[in-house]
Amino acid sequence: MPNRLLFVTTGLGTGGAEQALYRLLASGLGRDRQVSVVSLRDEGTHGQPIRALGHEVSCLGLGGRLPSPGMLVELARRVRAFQPDVIQGWMYHGNLAASLAARLAPGRPAVTWGIRQSLYGLTREKLATRQIIRANRWLSRGPGAIVYNSHVSRSQHEAFGFSGARGTIIPNGFNLDRLAPSSDVARRVRSELSVPADARLIGHVARLHPMKDHPTFLRAAVTLARELPDLRVLLVGRAVDLVSPELSGIVPDDMTGRFLCLGQRPDAAALMQALDVFCLSSNSEAFPNVLGEAMAMEVPCVTTDVGDAGRIVGDTGIVVPPGDSAAMSRGLSDLLTRPVEARRILGRAARQRIESHYSMTRAVEAYNALYRDLATRI
């Protein structure tokens, strides 16, 4: 078992990749070994929680597109002081820095990259990110392994030119104890939101971003609201507001009272427990964590066919084409018009699917097995 594990991550902000790193460490990935986390940027929202787990966290303060000479000197100093057995890159910038760190480290530490997103095309990326992705491609034969969190992400990157010999897949994991369904919580949330107990409630959890495609979800919800007078719609996410330029005018004025926009919330998991159906409307994803979280809390889902979403849901929900509001509305209507007990059975099957295929225990075991294998190759 490698005893010294160094993570080099692009950052430690609020994104899904950063959350996944924290949850892996919190679930025991760092147990029985020394762990150090280097953030190329700042400590964001997850630096202090990772420290609270007993792990070292340091930040290099990357503010621009490229690292400064002083930042590289500091990276070298920290790597040499820690003397890792394995260096795990996390996200594109972190991957490049992990490979550089291995050259600066004493001994011959194993290197593995972590790719946490899909690659539907470079045109969707910022110019600087395109260059970093190309650099990842050119250097992808160097690491001992490239870990993708979804099958679609691996196939997309390898089609783009990433080394196929290095790829492996470790899906995201979910802590089933933390994501435990509770009827008491569901009732409390509905009461706090003034949503009647017998109203049908659908929900969407995502920051406002083109890839999350809020307009398609809202159009589907408006169509459905015309059919179901008791329908309520819950939207949780940073900058999500019906009057924002991206969303203005989609929801008719006489319906806005049925659409609840709560902004970014730390209790999104609890809010989802009050839902009858959860909806993912993204047009680009790798492994959408929020989908697995909803399923873990026994909420049946309608999702667009992006990334591994269809594979995650399986036969416990409904998969529709991205950008198709009519198909999304039909999928939502299908689930909402089923008897309550039928939805509960589907929700329980969804949680069972997460437990069987996507538990955090399985994810931690997979990473530990990978690190043991890499250490034997050195």
pLDDT digits (tens, 9 = 90+) for 46-94: 999 999 999 999 999 887 666 677 778 888 889 999 999 999 999 999 9
Checking if the pLDDT of 366 tops 70, the result is yes
Neighbours of 36 (CB within 10 A): 21
Cα separation, 210 vs 42, in Å, equals 25
CA distances, 71 to each of 60, 68, 97, 136, 199 (Å): 6, 5, 11, 20, 55
% residues pLDDT > 90 (the chain): 86
User: Contact 317/336 with Cβ under 8 angstroms?
Assistant: no
Q: In the chain, what are the domains? A: 4-173+359-377 (3.40.50.2000), 183-357 (3.40.50.2000)
Checking if the pLDDT of 150 tops 80, the result is yes
The pTM of the full predicted model, rounded to 2 decimals, is 0.90
Helices marked H in the chain: 16-24, 47-52, 69-82, 92-104, 127-138, 151-160, 183-193, 214-227, 268-272, 289-296, 309-313, 325-336, 340-357, 360-377
Residue 87: beta bridge partners? 6, 111
User: What pLDDT sits at residue 64?
Assistant: 62
Minimal CA–CA distance to 195: which of 242, 221, 240, 230?
230
Cα separation, 140 vs 137, in Å, equals 5
Q: What is the pLDDT of residues 175-200, one digit of tens each?
A: 999 999 999 999 999 999 999 999 99
